[in-house]
Every structure is written in structure tokens, then in C-alpha cells.
Structure 1
Amino acid sequence: MNYKVLALLFFFFSLNLISQEKVTLEYSNVSLSEVFKDLEEKFKIKFSYNSELVNNRIINLKRQDYLLEDILLTLEEKVAISFKKVSKRYYTAKSKVLRITDTQQLQEILIKEYLTTGISKKNEDASISLMPKKLGILPGLTEPDVLQSIQLLPGVQSPTETASGLFIRGGTPDQNLILWDGIKMYHSGHFFGTISAFNPYITDEIKLYKSGTKAKYGNRISGVIDITSDNYIPQKIEGGAGINMTHADVFLKAPLNDKVAFILSGRRSITDMFNTETFKNLSQRVFQETKISDGNKVFEDDEVLTTNDLFNFKDFTFKAVVKPNENNEISISNLFTNNKLDYGFLIEEFDEASSDKLEITNQGSSFNWNHKYNNALSHDFNAYYSKFDLEYVGSNNITNEFSDELKKQNTIDDFGLSFDTNLVLRESASIGLGYQFSSNKVNYGLSFMDSESPEENFDESNESTNNAHAVYFDYKYNKSNKWLINAGLRANYFSVIDRIYVEPRVQVETRLSSSLKYRVSVENLHQAVSQVVEFNTQEFGLEDQIWVLSDDEEIPVLSSTQFTSGFLFNKKGWNIDLEAYYKKVRGLTSFTLGFEVANDFFSKGESDVFGLDLLVKKKIQNYRTWLSYSFINNDFTFDNINSGNEFSGNSDITHHFTWSHTYEWNQFNISLGWNIRTGIPYTKGVGIIDTPEGSVIEYDVINDSRLPDYHRLDVSTTYEFNVSKNENWKGKIGFSLLNIYNKNNLLSRTYESRQDSNGDIVLREINKSSIGLTPNLIFRIEF
């Protein structure tokens, strides 16, 4: 395999590459309009802008070997102009409006390449911005996967090797607020989380908050991932299509006129038509040690016939963008994601048939209206509807002997609206005031029917609704580019427990020198909807978590208090970002964490998280390298577990280190990344003991053992080319390898009691491993 990789890399290097054009610029007191004309001539492009934009704006700039992208970023920094690439040749330029809830450009330290192109550190808040269309190549990725890209940032971990299983600074995935055009998402992955459910080719920007969260974000206690899709009106029809070894996609952006446009996209798995090597490896990782992987065998030598083998996923989006004038922007967005699984097995010797059917859907719609009254006052109005639906049916039967059936359903109907006003008081100060309403109806049902043991049958269901009202206030103060203060206050009312929660949030930054600044933030957050683990479907082995609303008893409201402090340095191609944090989380339960070893199954607890995130990056022309390191100490304390003493959290990854490299050579890109981390804790099973209720597993001290250290090396490479002579049609081919040296990393270790061939009850260790050596190929065409 190594020779094949080298041969493929040599092939890419041997292609006839077309170099990116670089120019030398020298502007001394030149008007912005003249700068635009000069750039149009040098790069064969065209700017579209209002003539008032360039009035009385003078540019002083001297640079050598400058790419167009670098020039535009510099102009954005100098004159507060926002550029949007509409097509290969056309760009729009607009003046940035200072709004408290939007991006504001500050003339201070600007990290416009936090890791690589398309990833930037925002000046006006604590967010990190990812723009998929500008995103440089990343290790192991041939496409800019929306959620997998985030995992290269310090403080963001995925112990399960999935795109959607994001643990941000000790928080669990259900504690993250994920928005797509204002729609709350309750299921963000395809194929059990291995691929994100968001199409990157119609995604404009992803904002990630690990701390310093703005007051407009609520009802989650960990990270915020705010995704916005394309919101511009192209001058002509644009589109593209691509295929890789798991799925195919297509998108289209079509203007009706200069004020209205439609954007459509669709993706679908190809795995039910082509059994690719990539899908085989992903399936092996996802289905290992589940009912599907062993075909519902009772004994190892059972011969199993597969009677049903169906799995597919798909997602569709539709968006209408209306811009009747300079002061109004209206958009209507729609999203549909679906995962469907249907497996059946037959053990012919016993005529025993089993079936597992699972379908997960998350769909939603939103309406957004932004109105600008003048340069100082504007408002945003958003209304959304989100629906999550999970249905599972599992059955077993032997003809004329017995039959059983287990059903699970979990649905969420979420409707909400918000109204934000933004007012610039003066050049150094602005305020924002907003109101939000949301109504969550959460339904859970579980039933079991057994023809042989009807006394074990049950049918349980629960439905509850939480109407939440929130008012919030933001104040921003920026004094002479020396001090930046963001202060916010949010008040939440949750009807499900009839209580008000107040959330103060403060962020302070000061510039210590031209290349160094210091940041500190404090915030308090609450969450009324979360996921719990249920063990009735553990034999199926997949999707064992369900969404529930807090009842202030068995499921309390989650609360988090986080303090963050750090430094940011940027000079001569060096970026260093160091941040320490402490987080206290209350309201955890043994239901939400799924402890199998607790003596008293229901127990309340809390966690104390102390962490340190470090990023060191160096850019040398077209070569970039960065080291990312995260230290985390996440301790749990529960009343009735481990005698009330502290123990390591379930996903406590003490040390996490990545070292990545990217190199751009003309139209060829290559990236190599090494990932190493501490193994997660687990509770060791020591034997089987007999009790009046039957045989049970005896465990050692909870989470007192750790899995072996995890390490993996990934590589990816892409090549872009022109399909047509006029460069209107572009092509892209790419290749990636995950886990190059095929390391068998353990992701989890659990135990079960099982009857052996002699009829004795024995302890069985269940290990789940990471993905092995996995190739992927991509081919794309865009116009």
C-alpha cells in the first residue's frame, strides 16, 4: 500500500500545474476607487459596489508577492469593507455595519489565518470563524466537512472518532447548541455521526464559541456552533456536483433577477449501490460489537443468513434570498436530513429470524429578516421550526414458538422566534437588546412485547412541553483599540419547572502591545433539554440516547459557570494562542451519563473541569505547520457513586496533541497530520457474582483504569484544474488516507455476562476499535 501512495503522490506532483498569480503593490495616498480599478486590471476581476463606498477613502499599502485573497483581507482590515466572492471573476464590496450581534472589524491584532486559510479568530468576540469555500486543505479531509474541520481546534475532541460527537471543553455533544440558519439541530450527523449532516458547498460560515458566548445564545451549557448558508444573489447560475466513496452531492444557485435568488442542494449516500472500501471500514467501526455485526448469533458457530441489508442517508436544502434594497435582507431556509437502516437475519437451523429497523429525521424551516434603519440602528427577526424524529423497531421470533418486539420513539417539535435590535451609540460603544421565545414538545415512548413472558411486557411513554421566554442585553465598548469590553445579561424562564434563571456574561480584552493581547471572560449558562442513556435497546448497540426535558427531580436543569483567561500573540508569521479555563457543571445524573456500575442507579452529581488550550502556528510562504495541545482534568462527583468521592469523567482525555502540516504548490495541496491523545477512562470488570436476583458483574473502582494511548497519522491531497478554456468550469480531484500505519486504537471497553457453550455464566470483555487504514477519493465539477 505504501508504494501505491507514493506513486499517487508522484502522479500529482507530475501534473502540469498552473501557478497562482501574485503581484507587487505600492499605494501611497491612493483613493479606494483607484485601488479597485488597479486590482480589476491586475487580476482580471470585477468589483460591484455602491459609489458611496469609495468616497473619501485613501489607501496606503506596500506589499510584495501578494495573492488576491491576501489583498482583500488587508483591505477589509484597513477600511472596514466586506468582500464576497460571487463567481470566478465577480466580487461584491459592502461597508460593514457596526452591530452588536454581528462581526465588527477592529484595527488591532487580527488572526486571519488561525490554522489555515478560511479559519480566522474574531476580534470582536471569542469566536472562531470557518468559511468552507476558503478553507485550506486539512489532514485526512478531501472535502471541508463542517463538523470534522472543527476537531482540529484545541479544546474540541471526539473520543468516538465521529464528526457529530463533539466534546467541547469537557461538555457532551448534547450540551452544544448547533444552529443552521437559525434552526436548532437535534441530530447533526449521517451514518451514526461519521459524516456531518450539513452540505459544505452551500455553507457560508461556521462560528464556533468555546467560551465568551454572546447573550443571544441560550439553553445550552457547552459550545455554540452557528452555521449560516450562502446568503448572496449571484449574477449568473452557479452550480456543482461531486462524488466520493460514501456519497454524492449536487448544488445550484440561481438568480431570478438582481434582487431574488434560489439556492438548492442535495446529498445522498451511494453505499447501497456501491460497496466501497471506505464504507466497509466505516461500517466495521460503527457496527462492531452490535447486533448487526454478529447477525444476532447465540453461539459462535451459528450460521446466519442476511435477509435484509439496507442503509442510506440523505439531506436536502432549499433557500430563497430576497434583497429588495440596501436596507433589507430576507431569507427563507429549509433543511431535511434522513438516515434509514433496515437489517434482517435468519438462523436457518433454528428458524430464528430477527429484524432491526431504524429511521432518524431532522428537518426544519426558518425565516430571517434584517432591516437597517440607518447606519446606527438595525434589527433582526428570526422565526424557525425544527422537528426531530427517531423510530426504532427490533424483533425476534421462532415460528410457532415465540416472538418479541421492542419499539422506541423519540420526537421533538421545536418552534421559536427572536427579535434583536442593534444600536451604535458612538464610535466606541454599541448596545443590543433582544427577546426570544421557544416551545419544545418532547415525546418519548418505549414498549416491549414478549409472547413467552407476558409479565415482562411494558409500554411506557412521556410527553412534556417547555415554553421558554428570554430577554437579553448586550453592551460593547471599544476604547482607542486598547480596551474591548463585552457585557451581557440574559434572563430565561422555563415553564416546565416554572423558574427564572439569570445569566451574566462578561468578556474583557486589552492590547498589551502591537502583537500581544490578553483576554478574560466569565459566563453562566443553563439548559433544560438534554439526552439520557437508556439500556433497553443496548442489544441493538446503536442510538441508545434519547432527548428529554428537565423535571427538576430525576432530570434537573443543567447549569455551567465558566471562567477563561488567556493570551494571543501574532507576529512575523507566528501565531500563539494560550487559554486556561475552569468550568463547573451542576445537574448531572446517572441517567444522563449512563453509568452501568452504580449501586444506586439514580444519582445526582456535578463535574469540575480545568483545562488548558495551546495553539502554536508558523507560516512560511505556502507552508503552514501548527501544534495544538489540550490539557483537561474532568472530575465527577456523585452522591451515591464511588462513596461520594471524585473520579475521572467518562470522556476525560487528559492530554491531546496534534501536529499538522499543509503545503500549497500552484493548484496542488497536501496535508499531513498526526493525532495522539490519552486513552479515556473505563471501569474494569473483575468477575461474576451470584445474587438472589441472578448473576451480576462485579466491577473495580469506577473509571479507575484507562485505555491505551491513541495515535493516528492522516494524509490528504487535492488538485484543482480548469475544465473549460474560459475557466468558467472548474474541476477537483482528491485522495486521502486515514490511519496510515493502520494502528488498532481502542475507543471503549465494557463488559457483559454471557452463557458459554457449557452453560456457565462468564465475563466477556467488549472492546470497540477505531477505524483502520481507510482510503477515500473525490471528484468534483463546479461552474
Structure 2
Amino acid sequence: MSRIKYLLISLLVGFALQIQQATYAQKVKITESFSNQSLDQILSALSGKYNIKFAYDPVALNQISFTGQFRNDSPDKVLKQLLKDSGFEFIALNNVYVIKRAEKPIVEEKNKPIQGIVRDRISGEALPYASIRVVDNDLEATTNTDGFFTIPDVKSDSVSIEVRYLGFEPLQMRVARVQYNSKPIVVELDPKKFILADVEVVRNITSMLATGDRPGEMVFDTKKVGDIPGISGIDILAPLQLLPGVDGTTESLSGLMVRHSPADKNLISYDGFTIYHINHLFGAFSSLNSKAIKDVRLYRGGFDSRWGGRASSVIEITGKTGNENSVSVDAGTDQLAGDFTFEGPLGKHASFIVSARRSYTDFYRSPQFLNLFESVASDLMLSKQNFTAFGSDPDAPSYLFYDANAKVSVKPSNNDILSVSGYVGRDRLNFLQMVSSPFINENALWGNSGAGARWAKQWNSWLYQNFTVGISEFTSNYQHYDSTLKRRGIQPVYDTIVRNYATETGLNDLSVNLNAQVTLSNQIILELGYQSNLVNSKSSENYYHAVNSLPVADTLRQYDFNSRVNTGWLQFNFKTNGLKSLVIGGRVSQHNLTDQYYV
């Protein structure tokens, strides 16, 4: 009996102690202040100061911090505040607060997007218009101008994607879905290597050209420009003349006719500004250096609502942003000119590229230059056989050209790109013939220059924005003077006939573009934008004709006008597994010269 009585007394004492401890825990009032401390440290401090028992995983709670203060609060209220939105909860067992992971209710998981950016592994350049395909369900996407892509509706936690870009090795990789505001997945492609083993060549197949995702769109591999025979090994636009529907029989890019339309119906856009003159040596080759260009796309008629102002074709050119991984220097020369390219990173978030080319035809006349010049200016090359390469022939024409490209790109975040680019190209011709009649003095200077600023941002998985401001200038000044001594029949009397012809042309172009792309689903993309274009054109033409200082004709014509076009456009791009692209849209423009709207 004494043993049983002892056990009952022990149980009653233990139960009384538990009630006393529970009552004590409820009576405890906590007054503390914490600043960015981990929950592990906070619970340890509370346990030692207020004699409260906790059971928890210190490694898990060490990753969670808390900032706040308490004033005369109970332990239950303090724990609720500490564990709010942390993914943990607490229960009280035998006067011990057990902290465990909160049990999530079972709900149907929503589809989440896959966001990423495609880059060149060597240079870090973003690759525009790369093709992305989800291997598991054949969903497809295309990167935008800055290499961003979004696949909005993905049910699996991870999927396999296949990425392709012209001139690069295709890549398959496994990627996971991303949450809102997280960093995009970086996909890096390796350029194709052109090292061949010993093989027997049966036929030659080149993959320099590919069709784009939009109707009439053609894409060029800029790294293979040198594979096509041409006057200049770095002529980026020479392949255009080889395409179906493009008339290149004139051997002049300035006379490029697409779908039998005049040359002035071609729109050439370079990093947001318009180029009106793209040729050197009277159209023998283009004035754009392929070493500074990343992407070239030709839309041969039927282009979508993004483009306007031209009826024939659009040539969209995207300049390189520069090597983001290391400094690179490239130099080259041929029989006409030498070129130099310098690119590299500027800190961790910026890069640059500078490329320039200049001819030495003004002091060295190579056989190639003489042959080209004879074909475009045969009237000046009648005595070509007397010219020497380095000689100072009095009747030899002096001709030179140069062009330069520069671009600075800044990436303040993974989803922002700021860039400023510039271009200049000039041709100059001087011809002086003073040893025999007619005495001729001819001077010409023409070319194009431009600059563009751009801000692009991938706001989230469904919204992308591109804002550009471009300024372009075209100038052409030409002056021809000749003086001829003409004998009057059989009389020993000579008349002095003087002709002077001069033209000056100047064109200034300012364009502002704001474009947006909204990804509504895997099948539907909404594109919209606003454009404003201001053009000022001035020209003058002067002709003077005199015989023995007596004027026969003296005319002067001058023109000066301003044009302003405001445009808004909207289009839907539909694509499915069986349909690559179906674009439905509209474009409305208002012209100040006619004060009318054009749809």
C-alpha cells in the first residue's frame, strides 16, 4: 500500500508542476526588439531570458531573419508574428513549443513561364530571333531583338528545350520554370567551327541563308559573308543581290530593285535610324562593315504592320554590342582598303565596339581599283593605261572612301539594355584635268551618318518594350566646271565656252519608336507601337553657261520642305504546331503635308 500511495503522490506532484509551468508560460509577457536577426538567434535568446522551451531545426530557421519589436506580448502572439509568411508553424506539446514546417493545402498547381536569354558563348552577344522549341510538347518561341524569350504556359517543373540560331551549334538542355522577378535562364550557344578533316568534296552546300518566322523574311549568317565571291570580303549586303525577287544585275546596291520596285522604295534600318546611302565606289560594294554587324534581315514585300513608309522591302540591320567577356582586336586589308575593329567589356555591365575602314585609293591605285573605276566612270578613265600605282599623274582621279561604326551597350540588370550607336560613311572624288582642252575640275562628296539610342526592357514573363530614338543625315555635294576652246570654222579664232554645274542636297531624319510585345499565350502574341518621323529635305541646283564671258544660261533652283508622319500600329501573331505564323494587324498614319490619315 505504501508503494501505491507513493506513485499517486508522484503523479499528482508532476501534474501540478506541469499546470504551474503552463500557467507561467501564459503569464509571461515578452518585451523585446530585434533587427535583422535570424529566428534561431531570437528563439535562443527568448528561451534563456524567459525560461520558455522550444524545439526546432536551427539550420532551417537560421535562413530566416526578422525585424520588429514586441511590448508585453504573450509567447503565442510572439511566435505567430515571428513565423508569419515563413513557411513554419508551431504547436504546444507538454509545455514545449514545437516549430515545424507548415502543411500546405493541396491545390492544383498553375502553369508557370520559362524566361531566358540566348547569347554567344564566346563574346556574350545576345542573339536576336533565335528559335526555341520545347521538346516535350513542341511548344515554340523566338527571341526578340535583345535575345529574350518567354514560354508562358508550362505545367512541368522542368522541360527540355532545343535552341537553334543560324551559324551556331544547336543546343538541347533541361531548364526549370522560373518565378516572377527571378533572373532569366542564360542559354549560351557555340559558334560553328569551320575546321574540316580530310574529306572528298562531292558537292558544296552552304547554310548562309535561312527563312525567318515571318512571311517574306530572310536571315543571313553574317559570319559567312566571306564565303560568297565579292569585291570586298566584308561586304555584308552583297548576298542580297543573289536572292529570288531581287534584281542585282546593275551590280549596284543603290539600284537594288525588289519585286520590280524602284530603289527608293527600300527601307534600310540600322539600330533604330534610317540609312539613305549604303554604297561605296558608286555602288560597287556596300558601306556597312560586316565585322560590326550582328544580324541582317530582309523582308521582301508583304511585311507586317511594324514597318511603313516603303512599299518594296525592309532591310533590318542590328549592330553588335561588343565582346562582353574579353578584349578583341581585328585588322584586315585588301586591294582597296584597310579595316580595324576593337571591342571588349567595360566593367561588369557594359561593352563597346569600334570598327573603322578607310581606302588608300587616293595614294595607291591598285589594278582592281582601276578596273572598277573604269566601269563606273569611263569618261574619266580614257587614258587609264598611263596611270601608275604610286605616281602623281596629273589626269588621275583622286578617290577615297571611309566608314566607321561605334556602339556602347549597358546592362544595368538582367532584363534591361541601354545602348548608343553611331555610323558614318563618306565618299570623295576629285578630278582635275588642266593639260588639254577641255579643262575640267570636278569635286564630289556624298555619304550618310546617323546615331541611335535604345532602351529595351523585359518587364516580366509577358511584357517586352523597346524604345528607340534615331537621327540620320544624308549629304551630297557635286560640282563640275569645264572650260573648252572651240575654233570658229576655218578662222583662227577661238571661243571660250565655260560651264559650271553644282548641286547640294541635304536630308535630316529624326525618328522616335516605342514598341511593345505582349505574350498572351503560347499561340498568341500581341504587338503594338507608335512612331513619329520628321524629315527635312533641302536641295539646290545651279547651272551657269557662258561663251566668251557672255552668259547664255544662269539658273538656280532651290527646294526646302518638312515632312512629319505619326503612326500607330497593332497586330496579332498566331502560331500553332502546324502553323508557323499568321499575322493580322493594321497601321494608321497621319501625314502633315496632306493632313490626311492612311490605313
Q: TM-score range by the shorter chain?
A: 0.5 to 0.7
Structure 2 counterpart of 1:123, from 206, 213, 217? 213
Output one character per residue of 1:121-172: Cα deviation in whole Å (capped at 9) or x when no partner.
1124431111312557224467242111111211112121124431111012
Are 1:164 and 1:194, in contact at CA under 8 Å, matched by a contact in 2? Answer: no
Structure 1 counterpart of 2:466, from 372, 380, 391? 380
The answer to whether residue 239 in structure 2 is matched with residue 149 in structure 1 is yes
Output one character per residue of 1:284-316: Cα deviation in whole Å (capped at 9) or x when no partner.
11112x3x2358xxxxxxxxx845631000001
Structure 2 counterpart of 1:58, from 134, 154, 160? 160
Mapping 1:223-262, distance limit 5 Å = 223-262=313-352
SS in structure 1 opposite 2:283?
coil
Matched with 1:478 is 575
Matched with 1:738 is none
The answer to whether residue 292 in structure 2 is matched with residue 202 in structure 1 is yes
Matched with 1:435 is 530
* AA partner of residue 513 (structure 2): S
The answer to whether residue 468 in structure 2 is matched with residue 395 in structure 1 is no
SS in structure 1 opposite 2:371?
helix
Aligned in 2, Cα 1:60/1:474: closer, same or farther, shift over 3 Å?
closer
* AA partner of residue 339 (structure 1): D
Tell me the CA shift for residue 59 of structure 1.
6.7
Structure 1 counterpart of 2:413, from 309, 321, 325? 325
Are 2:447 and 2:476, in contact at CA under 8 Å, matched by a contact in 1? Answer: yes
Mapping 1:229-628, distance limit 5 Å = 229-288=319-378, 290=379, 292-294=380-382, 306-307=394-395, 309-348=397-436, 352-397=438-483, 401-452=496-547, 453-482=550-579, 484-502=581-599
Q: Distance in 2 between matches of 1:490 and 1:47?
A: 32
Are 2:432 and 2:442, in contact at CA under 8 Å, matched by a contact in 1? Answer: yes
Output one character per residue of 1:438-487: Cα deviation in whole Å (capped at 9) or x when no partner.
11111111011233352411011111110011110111111333463111
Tell me the CA shift for residue 346 of structure 1.
2.3
CA radius of gyration, larger in: 2
Q: Distance in 1 between matches of 2:222 and 2:577?
A: 33
Q: Distance in 2 between matches of 1:458 and 1:45?
A: 57
Aligned in 2, Cα 1:448/1:70: closer, same or farther, shift over 3 Å?
closer
Mapping 1:152-231, distance limit 5 Å = 152-231=242-321
SS in structure 2 opposite 1:457?
strand
Q: Distance in 1 between matches of 2:553 and 2:362?
A: 37
SS in structure 2 opposite 1:451?
strand
SS in structure 2 opposite 1:283?
helix
Number of paired residues?
A: 418
Would you tell me which structure has more helix in proportion to its own residues?
A: 2
Tell me the CA shift for residue 45 of structure 1.
12
* AA partner of residue 72 (structure 1): E
Aligned in 2, Cα 1:422/1:60: closer, same or farther, shift over 3 Å?
closer
Are 2:572 and 2:585, in contact at CA under 8 Å, matched by a contact in 1? Answer: yes
Matched with 1:92 is none
Tell me the CA shift for residue 78 of structure 1.
12
Are 2:218 and 2:298, in contact at CA under 8 Å, matched by a contact in 1? Answer: yes
Aligned in 2, Cα 1:269/1:236: closer, same or farther, shift over 3 Å?
same
Q: Distance in 2 between matches of 1:257 and 1:129?
A: 32
Output one character per residue of 1:326-366: Cα deviation in whole Å (capped at 9) or x when no partner.
11011101001000000011253x5x421110000210000
The answer to whether residue 223 in structure 2 is matched with residue 133 in structure 1 is yes
Aligned in 2, Cα 1:336/1:118: closer, same or farther, shift over 3 Å?
same
Are 1:475 and 1:488, in contact at CA under 8 Å, matched by a contact in 2? Answer: yes
Matched with 2:23 is none
Aligned in 2, Cα 1:355/1:308: closer, same or farther, shift over 3 Å?
farther
Higher relative contact order (CA 8 A, sep 6+): 1
SS in structure 1 opposite 2:250?
coil
* AA partner of residue 405 (structure 1): N
TM-score where L is the length of structure 2: 0.63
Tell me the CA shift for residue 231 of structure 1.
2.5
Aligned in 2, Cα 1:213/1:482: closer, same or farther, shift over 3 Å?
closer
Output one character per residue of 1:370-427: Cα deviation in whole Å (capped at 9) or x when no partner.
0111010011001000000000011123699453311101110111101011101111
Are 2:322 and 2:353, in contact at CA under 8 Å, matched by a contact in 1? Answer: no
Aligned in 2, Cα 1:69/1:274: closer, same or farther, shift over 3 Å?
same
* Structure 2: gaps spanning 5 or more residues: 1-113, 127-146, 177-184, 194-203, 384-392, 486-494
Are 2:502 and 2:541, in contact at CA under 8 Å, matched by a contact in 1? Answer: yes
Q: Distance in 2 between matches of 1:68 and 1:206?
A: 13
Matched with 1:590 is none
Are 2:361 and 2:398, in contact at CA under 8 Å, matched by a contact in 1? Answer: no
Matched with 1:651 is none
State the identity %. Answer: 22
Compute the RMSD of aligned alpha carbons.
3.7
Tell me the CA shift for residue 82 of structure 1.
5.8
Aligned in 2, Cα 1:55/1:251: closer, same or farther, shift over 3 Å?
farther
Are 1:239 and 1:252, in contact at CA under 8 Å, matched by a contact in 2? Answer: yes
Tell me the CA shift for residue 84 of structure 1.
5.2
Aligned in 2, Cα 1:82/1:139: closer, same or farther, shift over 3 Å?
farther
* AA partner of residue 567 (structure 2): A
* AA partner of residue 379 (structure 1): Q
Q: Which moved more, 1:67-76 or 1:463-472?
A: 67-76
Aligned in 2, Cα 1:77/1:461: closer, same or farther, shift over 3 Å?
farther
Output one character per residue of 1:237-271: Cα deviation in whole Å (capped at 9) or x when no partner.
01201111111101011211121111101001122
Tell me the CA shift for residue 494 of structure 1.
1.6
Aligned in 2, Cα 1:272/1:75: closer, same or farther, shift over 3 Å?
farther
Q: Distance in 2 between matches of 1:236 and 1:55?
A: 35
Aligned in 2, Cα 1:71/1:146: closer, same or farther, shift over 3 Å?
closer
Q: Distance in 1 between matches of 2:435 and 2:350?
A: 59
Would you tell me which structure has more strand in proportion to its own residues?
A: 1
Matched with 2:27 is none
Q: Distance in 1 between matches of 2:329 and 2:420?
A: 20
* AA partner of residue 438 (structure 1): N
Aligned in 2, Cα 1:195/1:142: closer, same or farther, shift over 3 Å?
closer
Q: Distance in 2 between matches of 1:463 and 1:199?
A: 33
TM-score where L is the length of structure 1: 0.49
Aligned in 2, Cα 1:152/1:144: closer, same or farther, shift over 3 Å?
farther
Q: Which moved more, 1:163-172 or 1:479-488?
A: 479-488
Q: Which moved more, 1:376-385 or 1:146-155?
A: 146-155
Are 1:147 and 1:164, in contact at CA under 8 Å, matched by a contact in 2? Answer: no
